[in-house]
Amino acid sequence: MVVIRCAILADADEIVDLVRALAIYEKEPLSSVKLTAADVRRDGFGPARRFEVLLAEEGGRALGFALFFPNYSTWEGRAGLFIEDLFVREEARGRGIGRQLVTAIAAIARSRGCPRIDLNVLDWNPTRDFYHRIGAHHMQDARQSWLPYRMRASAIAALADRADAAWFPDLPRL
């Protein structure tokens, strides 16, 4: 069974490995990934934490991850969450793991009072259909190949309602 959990300090090397796998998926050279385990430990777990990571695991093996951090909307007058990376290893795709990761982030967003979740998706990425199905809307910007998406409060709530405690044992509950 796949379990979604918050990353811990000891996961730093695994997080770097997943980011490198993401770079390969995005057709980027591995040399473009500057992230180190020391960076992850400093910025993901130190006193001035800059991001959080959820890991999708099965039998102790990391199948995917989501890295996210707070952003702020002057329009909403509230903090939201920005998903920087969402990735599932090729052999684990098609099993709903990406949905579980986004669902967990939606549950976190709702528990923190975040009215929206933002993310960017490459224009060629076939998962764009998935984001549409869960209520994220493409925000048009023809100047970039990255396509910004946003989930608003109603879509966050609908997705967070699907967060099963068995999948996400250590997430905050309302």
Give catalytic residue positions: 131
Which tokens go with 82? 């920005």
Q: 74: buried, middle or exposed (CB in 10 Å: 19+, 13-18, 0-12)?
A: exposed
Cβ atoms of 63 and 92 closer than 8 Å: yes
Closest to 106 (Cα-Cα) out of 53, 156, 55, 174: 156
How far is 7 from 111, CA to CA, in rounded Å? Answer: 18
Calculate ∠ Cα 73-79-80, nearest 5°: 90
Q: Are 12 and 40 in contact (CB under 8 A)?
A: yes
